[in-house]
Structure 1
């Protein structure tokens, strides 16, 4: 598939904006230098066949370092990791992987104010709160969780988390967009550029405000910013086929799947 190698290389490079990497068998284990944990990934282009023993070696190293056991990868470039992780007792998930080139971009407009946010703590705190409320109720259906839930979540953001958000925004490794209505910020999302490639992550709408095209509008605004900044390939992973359909409105198309694996929640 076109772009798979480039996407895999990007996904291996982007953690280094907030982590250091060390080799553990066929994996790079990313050790966070910020407040959020990272994960391990198979080394791109290695063509290694992952075995359950490789998973156990990584698990042992994580225990030594006090790190959570977590994997992320492109399924199409490392198909052996999913079965090996499942055999080692981890929960494995796969999600649609989509890309967008500028020639396929279909801008989506909205009557609401949709803009790139400055490196400003109040707005970055609110954008994170919108994402937290939105991802607390997965999917695309209208549900509970509106401006009041957003405002309550803002108060839960620690000063340490806020400082980390601001630092990444100031470095330009995390660009946030948001959509605003009469009740304030209603949807938000981020893109994370590395060279001429970026990934759109964390696009979320307050559940009570869904089905108004806000996620597509935020995604479109992020894509506009990325292309204007010299990016020529944008990628993202979607929670489901239904969510992927939102991004397809902007011109994204599926090229494969991404995988994640972690211990069962009972562990």
Structure 2
């Protein structure tokens, strides 16, 4: 049930730009070509035909986006072979980590830093969060659509956290809890400025978002770390592996 709940969240994140193509739900951002904001998720148990995949590819290319998917293979095991046959290449397989609300653990944070939630009214802080986040993920400098996305997230009961250097007031780390759906939410966009790494920011931001989400009634909190080092940070907060996520795209 847990895998199905998470897959359902991935497929049903509130989004005005959601598109149904065969057994896929595609999310295509008209303003931002960055890969995380443009991907499809298959239905649970989907058995797509080559024609379904061709239609999905056409939908992405008609919008000048890379055809790609982010999903949990265990929820739809028949999908990957059809994608591979169509020329898709895995970008990576990432552990799916889940933290029961009762198991959230605070981690040490450098005393020169403070981590807080950012309200929608603090637009200067939200711009700073966007700068730190985009730099950490090698995305272009923030634009109006980045701010609009964060404001939409906050309006939909998501959360944004920022780590601040108390001496300078500078925001040097950030993270988000995406808008929950049916008691499920994803922790994402955990970022730290290069000048402030190895000071506990990622763990502290994750713990704050996880604890705040649990307090708001979210029962399933999950994330997909980029590598083993990040996974170890989240393990200290209380996250444990429950499966695997696949990111796969067609680049040729």
Q: TM-score, normalised by structure 1?
A: 0.81
CA distance in 1, matches of 2:16, 2:245: 21
Deviation at 1:102, TM superposition (A): 1.4
Unaligned segments of structure 2, at least 5 residues: none
Partner of 1:186: 172
Kindly tell me the number of residue pairs found equivalent between the two proteins.
Answer: 242
CA distance in 1, matches of 2:234, 2:101: 14
Give the direction of change, closer, same or farther, for the CA distance of 1:202–1:59 in structure 2 (3 Å limit): same
Deviation at 1:51, TM superposition (A): 5.0
Unaligned segments of structure 1, at least 5 residues: 138-152
Give the direction of change, closer, same or farther, for the CA distance of 1:20–1:49 in structure 2 (3 Å limit): closer
Partner of 1:130: 132
CA contact 2:129–2:162 (8 Å) conserved in 1:
yes
Partner of 2:78: 80
Q: Does 1:213 align with 2:209?
A: no
CA RMSD of aligned residues (A): 2.3
Partner of 2:40: 40
CA distance in 1, matches of 2:135, 2:18: 30
Give the match's secondary structure for 2:98: strand
Partner of 2:240: 253
Partner of 2:55: 57
CA contact 2:22–2:48 (8 Å) conserved in 1:
no
CA contact 2:158–2:177 (8 Å) conserved in 1:
yes
CA distance in 1, matches of 2:203, 2:97: 14
CA contact 2:30–2:63 (8 Å) conserved in 1:
no
